[in-house]
A and B are shown apart, each in its own frame.
Chain A
Amino acid sequence: MNADLYWLAVAEAAPLIAARKLSPVELTEAAIGRIEALEARLNAFITVDGDAAMAAARTAADEIAKGGARAPLHGVPIALKDIFGVAGVRMTAGSKILAENVAAEDAEATARLKAAGAVILGKLNLHEFAFGATGVNPHYGPSRNPWDPARITGGSSSGSGASVAGGECAAALGTDTGGSIRIPASLCGIVGLKPTYGRVSKRGVLPLSWSLDHVGPMTRAVEDAALILQAIAGRDAADDSTSDEPVPDYTQTLRGGVQGLRIGIPKQFFFESVDPEVESAVRSAIGLLEEMGAILTEVDIPLIGEMPGGVTAVMLPEALAYHQRWMSERPDDYGDDVRYRLELGATYLAVHYVQAQRLREIAVEAWRAEVFSRVDLIVTPTTPITARPIEEGDLQVTFNLIRFTNPLNLLGVPAISIPCGFTGEGLPVGLQLASRWWDEATVLRAAYAYEQATDWHQRRPPL
């Protein structure tokens, strides 16, 4: 095996592991070596659980030697945003308040990854309590963008973005309440999938906003996102937000191409005030999708003027409800930006929250009738800007980062960000594809077709 094992995708490592040409121990050692080499620059991890990871890798190697690999993730090292419970492992949520907290149980997603044989490498840095989009954390330091360590990764799944883009792990789990998977995926040049709300259990994941939180994979390849979603998706009887909707075999339709797929280009909002280099990359990607056989249609986007406000009116009160006791007793233990957002949450009345939840139902119906009856997917830039310098500040940057992602959290539709180009400064640009509820398969299929027709995902940051 060559020295660059840490760049292997899950889908590349899996057959090698199954054929016993690659040991999970070798692969995990390579990941830990990469983490040791890069952490001073990337600050992607809060906790690296190297001993446990090596023990799990040895167990996986034994199991595979005796009975063969039981799943594509068997023996593959994966890392988790530090709001996923891993029994017996510190779970800080990127906060001072939970700095000494140890999870009693595995989150359901953690448990499903372990059952599939994945090796858990450790816990990844994030925006404090997942409540912000830059990934600049006052307690653990900012995660740094592998494409330019002076710039943000985006957040809140900031360590997930940095670690996957930097080759510290092939895949990570993140959470997405207003874009927190897709934003760092876009800024770090990787794949980030927010599945349909209710597709993946949130049990054991520290909440930000119960009705907007989604769990999903972050990877360097679309196929890997499909493999990980396959492992974690499906009803969890102990999480009422999860659904009985059948989970299809995502790999079966992955290679179906985009021929005949109807792709909607929003007439409003999603191409407004976009960095020209971002717009150029996204328009080129749309052109390529058309050349590949997709049918492009311009679509009106209903209620888009009201939806971002609706997200805020839901997210802030729900977040404050979770944090109220700590905010009352330990307000100075929060970073300034998160404390500010929580304080602002108190200024929303119950009537605003309820109306926003009613708006949500109206928006779902309008998008179903006016968008997803006409097209199979919509395509947008993931973010209107690329990675900004870390010292630039929070408020205006955050406003821009979440602009095109957070309306889709209100709807709960599946959405992916994939790399679609680079700026002149060498910063990644993300393309967002979203489909109707439960149709992650179409999102993945279109994303895979585009990925295979381009080489953006094969570029490596200059680390």
Chain B
Amino acid sequence: MNSQVPVGARVLLELAGLQLPAEREIFLTAGLEGTRRIAEALARRDYGDREPAARFGPPPSRSP
């Protein structure tokens, strides 16, 4: 049976360690349209030199 999910998406799922049975492909395929729209919108923006929101901080100097 031919997969309905684009090869790229299937590779991403495999890289994430997920298996996608055929009966669930139709849902993921529909959802990919949303991913595409969001990805395109995120790619259009000029972020300048803005850093991502993040909260990594090294431990205090007194910690082992």
Q: Which residues of A contact B (CB under 8 A)?
A: 211, 240-241, 305-306, 309-310, 312-313, 320, 324-325, 327-328, 331, 339-340, 342-349, 352, 354-362, 364
Contact = CB atoms under 8 A, between A and B. Distances in A.
A346 B13 contact: yes
Interface of B: 9, 12-13, 15-20, 24, 27-28, 31-32, 34-35, 37-39, 41-43, 45, 47, 50-55, 57
Contacts of B35: 344, 347-348
Contact of A355 (B9, B15, B17, B47): B47
A358 B55 contact: no
The 9 closest A-B pairs by CB, nearest first: A357-B52, A309-B38, A328-B17, A346-B16, A355-B42, A360-B53, A344-B31, A357-B53, A358-B47
Contacts of A325: 17
Contacts of A364: 53
B32 A306 contact: no
Contact of B28 (A331, A343, A352, A362): A343
Contacts of A359: 42, 45, 47
A357 B54 contact: yes
A343 B18 contact: yes
Given A305-B41, A358-B50, A346 B18 contact: yes
A320 B47 contact: no
Given A343-B28, A352-B39, A355-B45, A324 B34 contact: no
Given A357-B52, A361-B52, A347 B32 contact: yes
A358 B51 contact: yes
B9 A347 contact: yes
Question: How would you classify the secondary structure of chain A's contact residues: helix, strand, loop or mixed?
Answer: helix
Contacts of A306: 41-42, 45
B20 A309 contact: no
Nearest to B38: A309
B13 A362 contact: no
Nearest to B44: A306
A241 B56 CA distance: 10
B8 to A, nearest CB: 9
Contacts of A328: 16-19
Contact of A347 (B12, B27, B52): B12
Nearest to A363: B53
A337 to B, nearest CB: 9
Contacts of B19: 328, 331
Contact of B53 (A324, A339, A361): A361
A50 to B, nearest CB: 40
B46 to A, nearest CB: 10
A312 B47 contact: no
Contacts of B28: 340, 343-344, 347
A362 B45 CA distance: 10
Nearest to A355: B42
B58 to A, nearest CB: 11
14 contacts: A211-B53, A211-B55, A306-B45, A324-B17, A339-B24, A340-B31, A343-B13, A343-B28, A344-B28, A346-B15, A347-B13, A348-B38, A357-B54, A358-B51
Given A358-B47, A361-B50, A309 B16 contact: no
B10 to A, nearest CB: 10
A361 B32 CA distance: 26
A358 B48 CA distance: 10
A93 B24 CA distance: 24
A355 B45 CA distance: 9
B53 to A, nearest CB: 4
A352 B42 contact: yes
A346 B15 CA distance: 8
A227 B20 CA distance: 47
Contacts of A357: 52-54
A266 to B, nearest CB: 20
A356 B42 contact: yes
Contact of B18 (A211, A305, A327, A352): A327
A267 B57 CA distance: 39
A352 B38 contact: yes
A349 B54 CA distance: 17
A346 B57 CA distance: 27
A347 B17 contact: no
Contact of B31 (A313, A347, A354, A362): A347
